[in-house]
Amino acid sequence: MLTMFISVYLKMFMILTPFFVISAFLSLTQKYTAAERQQTAIKVTLAVIVTCFVFFVFGRYIFALFGITLDAFRIGAGAVLFISAIGLIQGTRIVASTDPDQELAVVPLAIPITVGPGTIGALLVMGASLKGMPDKIVASAALLAAILSVGGLLLVSGRLEKVIGQQGLVILTKLTGLFVSAIAAQIFFTGVKNFLG
């Protein structure tokens, strides 16, 4: 159970692309006071928790509703996640331009910056592939821990930027992209193997 918790935690932490999220968060909230930034970080975290758990819990029903097999979705989700990973590595992932007075927490910070199409695909696949209740509870706890870790990083993002600098965040974003591409390839090839087998 502990091994599963750590595995799901690390996968979801990487898939949530924390360093890209921090970079986007800092650029979109640069005119905010420290208190406003903290408030926004909390709102983003809550929005991500709600969004992630909706897809994680209801993934199986979404597949049944549209008549999609889990392996077909694995192939699609793996491909989308891989494209997201390439965007992170190349530094071309787009941050939506927004009005400074507009509420940023839910859109674009929670969706689509933190929970993009690749993340949604990975959540749907993970939620639908877990069978027993103990596994679902462990995975839910790991998912929540991963989201709270990203939220915690957002809360200290100002200090983090001072320590590692903007260039450091860019390097960490690219490294995250490499890890995410490996996770995407694993999801994709599992889908292909099961589909053909």
Dump pLDDT digits (tens) for 43-81. Answer: 999 999 999 999 999 988 888 899 989 999 999 999 999
What pLDDT was estimated at residue 60? 83
For residues 69-96, average pLDDT: 85
Least confident range from 38-42, 103-107, 120-124: namely 103-107
Distance CA 84, CA 73 (A): 16
Most confident of 86-95, 138-147, 169-178: 138-147
Per-residue confidence (pLDDT) for residue 93, from 0 to 100: 58
Domain boundaries, the chain: 2-196
As a dihedral over the C-alpha atoms of residue 20, residue 22, residue 28, residue 30, rounded to 10 degrees, the angle is -140
Is residue 146 within 8 Å of residue 18, measured between CB atoms? no
Task: Give CA–CA dist 169/158, Å, rounded.
Answer: 12
d(CA 164, CA 169): 7
pLDDT above 80: residue 102? no
To the nearest whole number, what is the mean pLDDT of the chain? 91
Quickly state the pLDDT bin for 125 (edges 50, 70, 90).
very high
In tens, the pLDDT along 5-57 reads 999 999 999 999 999 999 999 989 988 999 999 999 999 999 999 999 999 99
Give me the percent of the chain exceeding a pLDDT of 90. 80
Average pLDDT over residues 130-139: 94
User: Is the pLDDT assigned to residue 171 strictly greater than 80?
Assistant: yes
Given a cut of 90, whether residue 103 has pLDDT beyond it is: no
Q: 166: pLDDT confidence band, cut at 50, 70 and 90?
A: confident
> Where are the alpha helices (H) located in 29-132, listed in sequence order?
34-66, 70-90, 117-129
pLDDT band (50, 70, 90) for residue 92: low
93 vs 115, residue with greater confidence: 115
Residue 145: C-alpha distances to residues 121, 138, 182, 188, 197 (Å): 19, 11, 22, 25, 35
Asked if the model's pLDDT at residue 123 lies above 90, the reply is: yes
C-alpha neighbours within 13 Å on the C-beta side of residue 75 = 10
Beta carbons of 1 and 167 less than 8 angstroms apart: no
